Structure 1
Amino acid sequence: MAEFHDMPGHLVRRAHQVATALFHDHMTREGIDITPFQFAAMSAIKLQPGLDQATVAAWTACDRATIGGVVDRLVEKGYVARSVSEKDRRARVLNLTDSGRATLEQVETIARSIQDEITMGLDVEEKETLVRLLKRVSENHPK
């Protein structure tokens, strides 16, 4: 059995801690009140305006209850508008507001730079390998 510090689960958890801390540090420095998960939800809505919450949950690999709270906070911040679907009156659809689009654009720029910090010390080929392997792990365990 591998030593604890060499176990993939531990290393993935540590890498997640690093990525989350960097995201929070940068957002705080820029005066932006957004979490990594809120960023993911807004990114999904940007890709497909008019998504329902269930689809945003699926696209972000999150359960419906959690995404409900995330969307509630994005609505409270004025980044997302929730409205009744024209196709299904029972469903609520989500769209970015003007403020949400502007904030997301700013966060996307910062998030791209954070990726370089996360992978600091890796060359281009190593970065590509890391992304490819993380995708495989994620795809092998979709939820």
Structure 2
Amino acid sequence: MPDSQNKSRDAAESIPLDSLPGHAIRRLQQIAVAIFLQEAEPHGVTPVQYATMQALANAPGVDQRSLARSIGFDTSTIASVIDRLEARGLVQRNLDPSDRRVRLLSLTHAGHAVLTEVVPAMRRAQERMLAPLPPSERAEFLRMLNVLVTANNVHSRAPSEG
């Protein structure tokens, strides 16, 4: 085997995955989704659907592009999420009176009801995610996580505005 291949193989074999922040963040995201789905299973709401519904409750009448930017999703992903929520009768699209090409989004009464029902499950999921940390370290962890997200937002394929 050529010397350059040996060096490349040796370098790759000597990097422990648990020393890589990207690997840990990816694993934590997988765990966070799994915990959320376990808690929210009776409501049939995914983390992305929850974020969409909560954002619509926070800012009713927002257009799809603004919604996507506010929660850091690309417009094609948010379109399919909205389609599924609309099919369940949880979200409605209305014409923008000032620009008939634009659809304004809002939760329906059923959407508000589901959101109200899923909030306790979402809160339990957040608590479970942070449970391994002592309560005194949770705020600092969230602060540091938000520093990383904010500082690296420009590198996202779907940067958020918030």
Answer yes or no: same fold by TM over 0.5.
yes
Q: Could you tell me which residue of structure 2 aligns to residue 9 of structure 1?
A: 22
- Cα distance in 2 between the residues matched to 1:47 and 1:88: 22
Q: Of residues 82, 89, 92 in structure 2, which corresponds to 1:81?
A: 92
Q: Could you tell me which residue of structure 2 aligns to residue 129 of structure 1?
A: 140
Greater C-alpha radius of gyration? 2
Q: CA deviation at 1:32?
A: 1.2
The percent of aligned pairs where both chains have the same amino acid is 33
Give matches, 1:24-63, under 5 Å.
Answer: 24-28=37-41, 31-63=42-74
Give matches, 1:43-122, under 5 Å.
Answer: 43-122=54-133
C-alpha contact (below 8 Å) 2:39/2:124 kept by paired residues: no
More relative contact order in 1 or in 2 (CA 8 Å, sep 6+)?
Answer: 2
Q: SS in structure 2 opposite 1:26?
A: helix
Q: SS in structure 2 opposite 1:34?
A: coil
- Cα distance in 2 between the residues matched to 1:141 and 1:88: 34
Of 104-113 and 45-54, the range deviating more from structure 2: 104-113
Q: Of residues 34, 42, 51 in structure 2, which corresponds to 1:21?
A: 34
C-alpha contact (below 8 Å) 2:40/2:122 kept by paired residues: no
Q: CA deviation at 1:2?
A: 5.8
What is the total number of aligned residue pairs between the two structures? 141
- Cα distance in 2 between the residues matched to 1:79 and 1:2: 47
* CA RMSD, Structure 1 to Structure 2 (Å): 1.3
C-alpha contact (below 8 Å) 2:53/2:107 kept by paired residues: yes
TM-score, structure 2 as length reference: 0.83
- Cα distance in 2 between the residues matched to 1:98 and 1:122: 37
- Cα distance in 2 between the residues matched to 1:24 and 1:53: 25
Q: CA deviation at 1:3?
A: 2.4
Q: CA deviation at 1:100?
A: 0.4
Residue ranges of structure 2 left out of the alignment (5+ in a row): 1-13, 157-162
Question: Deviation above 6 Å: which 4+ runs of structure 1?
Answer: none
